[in-house]
Amino acid sequence: MRYERKYRIESSDYDNIYHELMSNPCGFRIAYPDRIVNSIYYDDIDYSAYNDNLLGIGHRVKYRVRWYGSSLTQITQPILEKKIKKNLLGTKVYQQLPDFDLNEGAPLLPETFTYPSNHLYPYIIVRYHRIYLESIDGHLRATIDKDLEYISLLNGHLSPIRRADPGLILEIKYEEDRVEEARLCTSMIPYRLTKNSKYVSGMQGLLM
């Protein structure tokens, strides 16, 4: 399992954040080409995943279907993710899904993957532009997410209801045996550590 330390930043811009990471003692560098990330978030009729996050439940699970690129209709190489959170540590379980056309509706999730959390429904799409970095030794990773947008799904179909989010999200990610190494890096980040869930932000902005 790994730590994901999140910073929601309202008072700075992407260029400043990028240059601060470039000058960090951990020596962050570009790791992969940047890309657009899209995720459909699923929840039950009681919004259990949403409420568990707000209540700070230590052990929680959420499901999403993720793909990359600009298309919001013809979806290729989607991946179903089960994101498991145990207090400050997290991990993911993955399953490849068939390509689909979102004009025909969001895919149903396989019960063998979601059990016992069956009867899940697609509520929103979260999309953003992600920049990938890693420390010079490869032990720490960082992502910067910008141009966030939340799109409502009505009965699993795209709706005209959407909202842009001007915030920037910085995440520092590292395995649980790299805590001391990560402390040097995070101590030099001039932003306040925050709790942030894109799913919760999207739900609050669109549906709640």
pLDDT tens figures, 3-47: 999 999 998 899 999 999 999 999 999 999 999 999 999 999 999
pLDDT band at 87 (very low <50, low <70, confident <90, very high): confident
pLDDT value of position 208: 56
Percent of the chain clearing pLDDT 90 (strictly above):
88
Residues 6 or more apart whose CB falls under 8 angstroms from that of 130 comprise 34, 35, 36, 37, 143, 144, 145
Residues 6 or more apart whose CB falls under 8 angstroms from that of 101 comprise 73, 74, 75
CA distance 190 to 173: 17
Pick from 154, 160, 88: which is nearest to 122 by CA?
154
Beta strands in the chain (DSSP E): 2-9, 29-43, 59-68, 74-75, 79-86, 89-96, 100-101, 121-134, 140-154, 157-165, 168-175
pLDDT above 60 (res 136):
yes
pLDDT value of position 117: 79
Over residues 58-73, mean pLDDT: 96
pLDDT band at 116 (very low <50, low <70, confident <90, very high): confident
Rounded to 5 degrees, what angle do the CA atoms 182, 185, 186 make? 85
pLDDT band at 97 (very low <50, low <70, confident <90, very high): very high
CA distance 155 to 177: 43
pLDDT value of position 206: 83
Over residues 111-122, mean pLDDT: 88
Is residue 183 within a helix (H) or strand (E), and if so which, with residue range? helix 179-187
- By the 10 Å C-beta count (0-12 exposed, 13-18 middle, 19+ buried), 112 is classed as exposed
Strand 100-101 to strand 74-75: parallel, antiparallel, or no bridges (unpaired)? antiparallel
Pick from 116, 97, 133, 149: which is nearest to 18 by CA?
133
Q: Residue type for 171, please?
A: E
Domains of the chain: 2-206 (3.20.100.30)
pLDDT band at 118 (very low <50, low <70, confident <90, very high): confident
Averaged pLDDT of the chain: 94
Q: What is the pLDDT of residues 168-190, one digit of tens each?
A: 999 999 999 999 999 988 999 99
Q: Find the length of the chain.
A: 208
